[in-house]
Amino acid sequence: MAPPTSDDDSLWLRRFHPQPEATVRLICFPHAGGSASFFFPMSEEMSSGIEVMAVQYPGRQDRRTEQPVESVQELAREIHTVLTRWTDLPIALFGHSMGASVAFEVARLLEQESGIVPAALFASGRNAPSQHRSNEIHLLDDNGIVAELQLLSGTDSRVLGDLELLRFALPAIRGDYKAAETYRYVPGPPLRCPVVGLGGDSDVRVDVEEVAAWGDHTSGTFELQVFPGGHFYLSEQKAAVVNTVSDFLTARNPITLVPSPGVAGG
């Protein structure tokens, strides 16, 4: 049974394919400029024992009238508040690019403030928190940001080719880049949950060594998975990524979580 929901839940979380028999929930965090729908294919292909829920950040699609959140920590705190109502099942976190930083900060809040250890953190296409990069893409003009999107090929080509759509999307994209690029890791206790670092072998923005450094941020197990492709390798390697996540979560008994007070199914 799903826990009781609020209006905030439907704003922040998208549940494309409900799985009544699921034994774990995979919460997915999009990249800068991305939306929850980026994870629709993953949700569609995931095994029935894993229910995928994708985070929708403010400032895009049906939340386009809202101001983007320009701080990773602030974004994480908002999402953490919502997620504590969904801990009737163990939860795992999957973040791509900027989303990996957000997922990491959510995992810290879950462990340190809610006493909830995630089943796993999957950190994709992002340098480890301690491996800061000083990119300043959010300070570029609109043409510069579009050039970066074209380099990474992470935004729907139909949007890049439609100036009207792009005009609406750029404020959210710029806000996300600001959040990602101004994020600074604050040292603290390592995570207790297992961490899996994922990356593309030809990513122009993140080296495999920077992904491997995620292992420094957990006292649990760490695995590194490298796939053929660039920054958005997971679009081309969808089946392999889904299998990696599914195999990891089903090969072990998920960590027993402590449900938050008042959550159904606890």
List the structure tokens of 95: 């973040």
pLDDT of residue 7: 59
pLDDT of residue 100: 98
pLDDT of residue 79: 97
pLDDT < 50 regions, the chain? 1, 4, 156, 158-159, 253-266
**CB-CB contact of 214 with 123 (8 Å):** yes
Which listed residue (35, 43, 97, 124) is catalytic?
A: 97
- For residue 84, the one-letter residue type is T
Per DSSP, 13 falls in state E
- Residues with Cβ within 8 Å of residue 4, at least 6 apart in sequence: 85, 264
Q: Name the pairing type of β-strands 91-96 and 121-124.
A: parallel
Q: For the domain bounded by 7-250, which CATH number is listed?
A: 3.40.50.1820
Q: For the chain, which residues make up each domain, given as ranges?
A: 7-250
Element (H, E) at 100: helix 98-113
Question: What's this model's pTM, rounded to 2 decimal places?
Answer: 0.87
CA distance linking residue 21 with residue 210, whole number of Å: 37
**CB-CB contact of 173 with 32 (8 Å):** yes
For residue 121, list its beta bridge partners: 93, 195
CA distance linking residue 180 with residue 140, whole number of Å: 14
For residue 198, list its beta bridge partners: 124, 225
pLDDT of residue 177: 87
CA distance linking residue 47 with residue 19, whole number of Å: 9
Q: Is 130 a catalytic residue?
A: no
Q: Is 231 a catalytic residue?
A: yes
pLDDT of residue 152: 66
Which listed residue (96, 124, 231, 260) is catalytic?
A: 231
For 144-161, the pLDDT digits (tens) are 777 777 766 655 454 455
CA distance linking residue 212 with residue 199, whole number of Å: 9
